[in-house]
Amino acid sequence: MRNAQAAGDTRHGRTGKDGAFYSDDGVLLATVESFTSNVTFNNAKYSVLGDAQEHETANTFAVNLTMSQVVVEDDAFFEEIMDALENQTMPCWNFQGSLLGRNGSEERVTYYECVPSGQIDIQNIAVGDVIKRNWNFFVNRPPKLTSLLSVDR
């Protein structure tokens, strides 16, 4: 075999059951079915005399956080967003995403100053389907890597 490390150690593969999503004060948001965070880099393009190739340099980045929540009961987030619509003062939250390793290690990332962004479901109901509420947030401060998974060899 040319690449003996290609498969890695499959015992350490993780699935969704190993993830969790917490509020800033460490309370597990148990009804969150899934969450995704991503970063988008926006580079500035430029070209110089005598060079036909276009170049880019680092400019800005944006972090977005999306979660899907199973609607089991009214919750504090939904109440806060509905109050915000009425009072016209939008909420701001901090969240923590966690992934538990097989050996007890944990990858934890904290997301700061998350504000509602784009579309958020108020009610999303379909026959024969579990009722879910989709949330979209813009993260206004860089996320912080609090801890990293490790693999015992």
What is the mean pLDDT for each group of 10 consecutive residues in the chain (153 residues)?
62 76 86 92 96 96 94 80 94 93 88 95 88 93 92 65
pLDDT for 1 equals 59
Closest CA to 69 of 17, 18, 122: 122
Beta-carbon contacts of residue 106 (< 8 Å; ≥ 6 apart): 98, 99, 100, 147, 149
List beta partners, residue 110.
96, 144
- Contact 79/86 with Cβ under 8 angstroms? no
| Six-digit token string for 148 | 């990293």
Q: What is the pTM of this model?
A: 0.83
pLDDT for 45 equals 96
pLDDT for 48 equals 95
pLDDT for 115 equals 96
pLDDT for 55 equals 96
pLDDT for 140 equals 97
What is the distance between the alpha carbons of residues 90 and 87, in angstroms, rounded to a whole number? Answer: 8
* Alpha-carbon separation of residue 10 from 5, 45, 95, 102, 133 (angstroms): 11, 41, 29, 11, 34
